[in-house]
């Protein structure tokens, strides 16, 4: 495999970037012409001594904005651990560098738009969870890597990466077009990785958890639901739990993703907007494509639908069940489990009912294992695909329980656990395990919903606490604010970063120039003024009580009427995405 370079120096001159590979024995220098945008390969002797030099950790890629092309580089990284002898890094700081030295060629409006686009790029880069490895493919599971052809082994690390999980694939498109430049093309995944050395019965093993977030149909909580026409599900995440012990390797893979048919749940100022199932689209085409892909990649599927079986979530559960039935595929098993009903009144022990119900299936699916002689002992023959509404909080709880059951079997088979021992009895490891899964929940939730996960007190401690309920309430309030008043910008940021929207090189009208309706600007101020006047009337009473009450009632009525108009037109008052149309996204 042609690995990516590990260390770089960025040399900057007035008209060119020289990105020097600093690995031992390397002489390659990537030259980017800041005027023509051309990329070429040269040697270190061609780097001008007058260039301004600084070390960088890798190239995220390039992107065109209003002002022209920009180079995005990783400037700081943090070591996460070592996977099979390969250093795994978390990108922690980035730099977005313009090709052009000045913005004088832009109009005032264009300068403002360029500034907005730059803040969108920064918004994505500041979302925690970008990971990379220069000489190991983080985007594939151990089982996929073990079942590859010699041709696959000869590919560069960028070519062989699973494009579902390469978040800078759009940014690297120019480097990808030139095979001789592939060693500068560093695939970066988004999600979560934790790597922990663990001790049980005096035996040391490495426990690793990797969640890979798909860049297909990526987005934020309420603006991206269901699937697209190609069968890509919103918030699709592949989670792999790995155990390494004395040369042996074991892996257990699960997936999560939005219910795979056409539905939406647009924010409208209500705490929980009503989900809408599309009536204008044939669901089975996309549904079939989704599961054709899942069956090909993972084998048999057990679908764990954790949504409520009443209220606004019930029609979604019924639609999902009906489509699985209509597909009539014996490799797909559907189980509906009303998480909230079963666990009401703090009865969290009832989750074991679901784990027990699928135990036979989990034993049938098994897990992947390679012995110390590098012989494949077991293959995982199917996965659990879990979902709730967001595929976050409820989903993570169930996934952590299924992963623990798999781990119990793996550690026994590897000889780490003795006969009759339970993983839950290993208190030090249990603390590591629970905290890591809770951190995984938080990472996935921040990336999709904008806040930490709910129910992590159960994941961390094995029980629900009053403090946990209080924190869930706080996070829910933050989610409400972000989902209604900042997620449009976050969605635009992701669409721009992933190439779902490209900035026009001409001076064509930008979607950012859309003017707000007058009522959107005026009504909130009228309601605020009414509230202020109501308070002032109470604090500064009139000459008579009846006069005071008349003023109070007038302003209170004004505020109430204005508020009701705002709520009834809620979709007009939320922060909606501007770059990709609703019709194209849905």
Residue showing tokens 């009832």:
350
pLDDT of res. 586: 67
Give the 3-state secondary structure of residue 95.
Answer: strand
- Alpha carbon separation from 207 to 84, 100, 189, 191, 204 (Å, rounded): 12, 47, 20, 17, 10
Any idea which of 85-89, 109-113, 311-315 has the lowest mean pLDDT? 109-113
∠ Cα 111 126 2 (to 5°):
105
Across the chain, mean pLDDT equals 92
Mean pLDDT of 562-581: 88
pLDDT of res. 332: 98
Tokens of 518: 């007058």
> If pLDDT is split at 50, 70 and 90, which confidence band does 72 have?
very high
Rounded to the nearest 10°, the torsion over CA 138, 139, 143, 144 is -130
Q: What is the pLDDT of residues 319-351, one digit of tens each?
A: 999 999 999 999 999 999 999 999 887 787 889
Cβ–Cβ < 8 Å for 526, 555 = no
DSSP 17: E
> If pLDDT is split at 50, 70 and 90, which confidence band does 204 have?
very high
pLDDT of res. 476: 86
Q: What is the pLDDT of residues 449-461, one digit of tens each?
A: 888 777 777 767 7
Beta strands in 319-404 (DSSP E): 332-336, 368-370, 376-378, 382-387
Query: What is the Cα–Cα distance from 575 to 572, expressed in whole angstroms?
Result: 8
Cβ–Cβ < 8 Å for 146, 152 = no
> If pLDDT is split at 50, 70 and 90, which confidence band does 253 have?
very high
Helices (H), 241-302: 283-298
- Alpha carbon separation from 209 to 243, 254, 255, 430, 441 (Å, rounded): 9, 11, 13, 14, 12
Answer whether residue 510 shows pLDDT above 70. yes
pLDDT of res. 327: 95
Q: Which of 494, 485, 403 is nearest to 448 (CA)?
A: 494
Query: What is the Cα–Cα distance from 43 to 51, expressed in whole angstroms?
Result: 15
Helices (H), 252-358: 283-298, 314-327, 339-342, 351-357
Query: What is the Cα–Cα distance from 153 to 147, expressed in whole angstroms?
Result: 11
């Amino acid at each position: 495999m042609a690995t990516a370079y590990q260390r770089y120096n960025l040399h900057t001159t007035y008209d060119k970037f020289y990105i020097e590979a600093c690995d031992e024995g390397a002489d390659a220098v990537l030259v980017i012409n800041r005027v023509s945008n051309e990329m070429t390969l040269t040697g270190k002797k061609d780097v001008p001594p007058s260039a301004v030099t600084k070390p960088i950790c890798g190239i995220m890629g390039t992107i065109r904005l209003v002002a022209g092309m920009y180079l995005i580089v990783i400037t700081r990284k943090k070591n996460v651990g070592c996977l099979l002898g390969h250093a795994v890094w978390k990108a922690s700081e980035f730099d977005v560098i313009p090709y052009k030295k000045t913005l004088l060629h832009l109009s005032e409006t264009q300068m403002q738009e360029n500034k907005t686009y730059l803040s969108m790029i920064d918004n994505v880069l500041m979302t925690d969870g970008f990971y990379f490895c220069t000489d190991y493919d983080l985007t594939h599971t151990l089982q996929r890597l073990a079942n590859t052809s010699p041709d696959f082994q000869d590919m560069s690390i960028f070519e062989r990466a699973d494009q579902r999980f390469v978040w800078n694939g759009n940014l690297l498109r120019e480097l990808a077009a030139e095979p001789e430049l592939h060693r500068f093309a560093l695939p970066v995944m988004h999600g979560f990785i934790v790597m922990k050395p663990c001790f049980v019965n005096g035996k040391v093993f490495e426990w690793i958890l990797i969640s890979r977030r798909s860049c297909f149909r990526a987005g934020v909580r309420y603006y991206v639901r269901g699937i697209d026409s190609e069968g890509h599900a919103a918030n699709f995440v592949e989670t792999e739990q790995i155990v390494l012990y004395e040369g042996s390797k074991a892996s257990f893979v699960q997936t999560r993703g939005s219910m795979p048919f056409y539905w939406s749940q647009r924010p409208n100022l209500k705490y929980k907007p009503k989900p809408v199932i599309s009536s204008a689209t044939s669901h089975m085409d996309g549904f079939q494509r989704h599961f054709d892909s899942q069956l090909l990649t993972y084998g048999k599927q057990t679908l764990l639908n954790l949504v409520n079986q009443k209220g606004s979530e019930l029609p979604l559960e019924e639609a999902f069940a009906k489509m699985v039935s209509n597909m009539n595929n014996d490799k797909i098993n559907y189980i509906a489990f009303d998480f909230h009903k079963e666990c009401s009144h703090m009865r969290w022990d009832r989750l074991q009912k679901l784990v027990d119900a699928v135990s036979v299936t989990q034993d049938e699916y098994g897990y992947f294992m390679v012995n110390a002689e590098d012989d494949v002992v077991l293959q995982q023959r199917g996965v659990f695909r879990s979902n709730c509404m967001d595929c976050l909080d409820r989903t993570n709880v169930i996934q952590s329980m299924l992963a623990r059951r798999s781990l119990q079997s793996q550690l026994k088979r590897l000889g780490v656990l003795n006969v009759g021992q339970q993983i839950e009895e290993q208190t030090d490891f249990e603390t590591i395990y629970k905290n890591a899964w809770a951190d995984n929940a938080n990472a996935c939730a921040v990336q999709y919903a904008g806040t930490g996960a709910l129910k992590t007190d159960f994941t961390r401690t094995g029980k629900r606490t009053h403090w946990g309920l209080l924190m869930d309430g706080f996070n829910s309030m933050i989610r409400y604010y972000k989902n209604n008043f900042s997620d449009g910008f976050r969605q635009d940021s992701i669409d721009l970063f992933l190439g779902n929207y490209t900035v026009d090189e001409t001076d064509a009208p930008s979607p950012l120039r859309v003017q707000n309706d007058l009522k959107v600007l005026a009504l909130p101020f009228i309601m605020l003024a009414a509230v202020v006047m109501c308070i002032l009337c109470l604090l500064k009473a009139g000459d008579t009580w009846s006069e005071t009450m008349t003023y109070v009632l007038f302003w209170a009525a004004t505020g109430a009427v204005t508020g009701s108009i705002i709520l009834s037109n809620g979709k007009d008052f939320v922060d909606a995405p501007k770059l990709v149309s609703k019709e194209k996204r849905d």
